[in-house]
Amino acid sequence: MATLRLGDTAPDFQQDSTEGPISFHQWAGNSWVVLFSHPADFTPVCTTELGKTAALNGEFARRGVKPIAVSVDPVNQHREWVKDINETQNTTVNFPILADADKKVAQLYDMIHPNSLANATVRSVFIIDPKKVIRATLTYPASTGRNFDEILRVIDSLQLTDSHKVATPANWKDGDEVVIVPSLQDPAEIAQRFPKGFRAVKPYLRMTPQPNK
C-alpha cells in the first residue's frame, strides 16, 4: 500500500496483544496514541525503549496519551520478553505490545522496509490524535534507539498548537517562547490571545511567551 502521510486517518485493525485482543480505534478511544514498532523481541535496544516507555507512564498519562508497541513476534514470546524488560529496566510494562506475527499491522503502517530489514519492522513512530489522524511520524534504523524526550516534545507542540494560534520554533521545549502564526494579523485578536505581548523580530517572525503558561 502507499506510505501513510500526515493528515491521513490511522488505519484500524484487530490484533492480539499482551493485554488480549485489541480493536485499535476502539482501544484508542478519545486519547492521543503513540504507536511504535520494534524489529524483534529479546533485542537489546528494544528492551531499553520499552522500559523507558513504561517509566514515562505518568508523562504520557498527563498528556492524555496511550502508548502501544508492535513487534512481529507472537504473544507468548512477548510475555516472556516483558519479564526481561521489567527485570533489566527496573520497571513494569504497563501498555500493550501487539503480537503482529502475520504482519498485518506492519503492512498497514508500512513498517517493513525491505532494503533495511527484510522481515522485521524498522523503528517507526506514529503520533495519532483523538480523531485518529496521523499527526507526526518518525523512523529510526534498528541500531538507533528512539529519543522519548523528543516524542514527548512533539506531542507537547501538537497539543499546544492545536489550542492556540502559534507554532513552535527550533529546539522549543515546553515553557519556551513560541511563534505567532503569520496568518494571524488582526491587532485586536493578537492582543486578546497574547496579553503578555510579543516581540517582532521581523514582521513575519513574532515571538510571544507560551500562552498556556
Each residue's pLDDT tens digit, 160-195? 999 999 999 999 999 999 999 999 999 999 999 999
pLDDT(119) > 60: no
Query: Which pLDDT score, from 0 to 100, does residue 127 have?
Result: 98
Q: Which helix (H) or strand (E) holds 28?
A: helix 24-28
Where residue 122 falls among pLDDT bands split at 50, 70, 90? Answer: low
Q: What percent of the chain has pLDDT over 70?
A: 94
pLDDT(204) > 90: yes
Q: Are residues 72 and 124 in the same domain?
A: yes
* Inter-residue contact 134 to 8 (CB < 8 Å): yes
In a domain, 158, yes or no: no
Query: Which pLDDT score, from 0 to 100, does residue 110 have?
Result: 86
* Inter-residue contact 160 to 210 (CB < 8 Å): yes
In a domain, 3, yes or no: no
Query: Which pLDDT score, from 0 to 100, does residue 23 have?
Result: 98
* Inter-residue contact 154 to 136 (CB < 8 Å): yes
Residue 66's domain is classified under what CATH number? Answer: 3.40.30.10
In a domain, 196, yes or no: yes
Q: Are residues 98 and 195 in the same domain?
A: no
Identify the active-site residue in 10, 33, 46, 106.
46
The alpha carbons of the chain give a radius of gyration, in whole angstroms, of 19
The residue whose grid cell reads 515553557 is: 175
Query: Which pLDDT score, from 0 to 100, does residue 3 have?
Result: 81
Q: CA-CA distance, 173 to 138, in Å (whole number)?
A: 18
Q: Are residues 38 and 130 in the same domain?
A: yes
Q: Are residues 76 and 102 in the same domain?
A: yes
Mean pLDDT on 124-134: 97
Q: Are residues 139 and 195 in the same domain?
A: no
In a domain, 173, yes or no: yes
What is the total count of domains within the chain? 2
Q: What is the span of the domain harbouring residue 192?
A: 164-208
In a domain, 200, yes or no: yes
In a domain, 103, yes or no: yes
Q: Active site includes 87?
A: no
Q: Are residues 132 and 204 in the same domain?
A: no
Which of the listed residues 146, 174, 200 is the one where a domain comes to its end? 146
In a domain, 71, yes or no: yes
The pairs formed by 205-210 with CB atoms below 8 angstroms and a separation of 24 or more are: 205/179, 206/179, 206/180, 207/169, 207/177, 207/178, 207/179, 207/180, 208/166, 208/177, 208/178, 208/179, 208/180, 209/177, 209/178, 210/160, 210/166, 210/174, 210/175, 210/176, 210/177, 210/178
